[in-house]
């Protein structure tokens, strides 16, 4: 039996509400962290899959050879399901302005073509490249054509 005027153990209503709010906020923060982790995991899985598909495609291109690829012109394609959201394209990159190959008839059309599509790109992967002085102008030109978010 409790005597009048004596305080019983327990929490007040305000303390209980404050604890509930803290618990709800903690749950929301935890949920956001899990969602961000899942998004990062999905993106990492996509990057890994894209790298595997790219490796397979580059192996096939390597087997075809650059001379045959150049003779066939610019080429690309997509992958079969379930990878049909990925696509690939192979392009011959024009030489830098100091190169003796600059006079080849395909150089200006390649530069013009890249300039025309560069605003539509959201990703660009450059493989097999050097950034030596003789190649720097070429790569800088290509990078300068890209939108700032790429």
Residue 61 has pLDDT above 70, yes or no: yes
**pTM of this prediction exceeds 0.85:** no
Q: How many residues does the chain have?
A: 150
Please return the burial class of 94, using the count of CB atoms within 10 Å of its CB with bins 0-12, 13-18 and 19+.
buried
Among 3-17, 48-62, 63-77, the range scoring the smallest mean pLDDT is: 63-77
Kindly report, residue by residue over 117-134, the tens digit of the pLDDT. 888 887 777 766 667 776
Asked, for residue 19, whether it belongs to a domain, the answer is no
Question: Who has greater pLDDT, 136 or 67?
Answer: 136
Domain residue limits at 86: 48-144
> Is residue 89 helix, strand or coil?
strand
Look up residue 13 and give its two tokens.
Answer: 């209503």
Residue 107 lies in a domain: yes
Q: What is the spatial distance between Cα 129 and Cα 139, in angstroms, rounded to a whole number?
A: 9
Write out pLDDT tens, residues 91-101.
655 555 555 55
Considering the domain boundaries, does residue 70 fall inside one?
yes
Domain assignment present for residue 66? The answer is: yes
How many structural domains is the chain composed of?
A: 1
Separation between Cα atoms, residue 59 and residue 28, nearest integer Å = 47
pLDDT of amino acid 7: 63
- 90 located within any domain: yes
């Amino acid at each position: 039996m409790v005597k009048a005027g004596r305080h019983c153990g327990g929490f007040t209503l305000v303390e209980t509400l404050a604890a509930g709010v803290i618990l709800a906020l903690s749950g929301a923060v935890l949920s956001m962290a899990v969602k961000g982790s899942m998004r990062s995991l999905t993106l990492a899985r996509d990057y890994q899959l894209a790298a595997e598909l790219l490796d397979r495609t580059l192996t096939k291109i390597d087997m075809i050879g650059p001379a045959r690829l150049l003779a066939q012109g610019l080429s690309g394609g997509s992958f079969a399901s379930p990878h049909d959201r990925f696509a690939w394209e192979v392009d011959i990159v024009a030489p830098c302005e100091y190169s003796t190959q600059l006079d080849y008839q395909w150089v200006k059309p390649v530069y013009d073509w890249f300039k025309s599509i560069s605003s539509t790109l959201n990703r660009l992967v450059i493989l097999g490249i050097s950034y030596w002085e003789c190649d720097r102008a070429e790569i800088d030109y290509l990078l300068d054509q890209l939108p700032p978010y790429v």
